[in-house]
Amino acid sequence: MRAYPIALLISAAAVLTACSSGEQKAAAPAPPPASKAPTSSSAPANKASADTCALLPSDDVSQAIKIPGITSKAGPAHDNPGNGGKATSCEYVVEGKTAGALAVTRYEGRQAKPADMIAAIKKAKPGAVDVPGFPDGAVFYTDEQKTATLAAAKVSNGVPVLVNYTGPVKMTKEMMTPLVHTAVAKA
């Protein structure tokens, strides 16, 4: 079940790779690494991952999917020197199984516009649909790995940020919308 955080990180990397081209070409997601996603060994990255969990309380996830007892734990962090993305994640777990994951990717020093980030996701993910109610744009899609993702983009303190929640394919955009709203408001 660790595919959720890895899928989030790959998704985020693909989106900003596309945004960094200047042409907004959607790059195909890179294949998942053979081993665990690279993590930063520095304390600030670990703190950033813990801060990602603070953006979305596990109780909110429990309410959205109607399963009590969900807990959160810091997921892997990943830096992508190619596009400047620094992703942190938080995994939501119930009875030892991943119930979903939140990923936040910050693009320090980048000038990407939220609308361009959302357009790149829509290009890369056939069937992706806009989700109303997010001032800077959001999109929902499912993928062949049987996961559902809702991603929203914004600029926070001058830094482009992509926030996405990925869960099982049975999660609807209506279930995910309040979760992503909560995280985006704090990101």
Contact 118, 153 (CB under 8 A): yes
Tens-digit pLDDT profile for residues 66-86: 999 999 999 999 888 877 789
- Would you tell me how many other CB atoms lie within 10 Å of the CB of residue 118? 24
Question: pLDDT value at position 50?
Answer: 52
pTM: 0.75
Q: What is the pLDDT of residues 50-69, one digit of tens each?
A: 589 999 999 999 999 999 99
Looking at residue 108, its pLDDT comes to 87
CA dist., res. 186 & res. 138, Å (int): 16
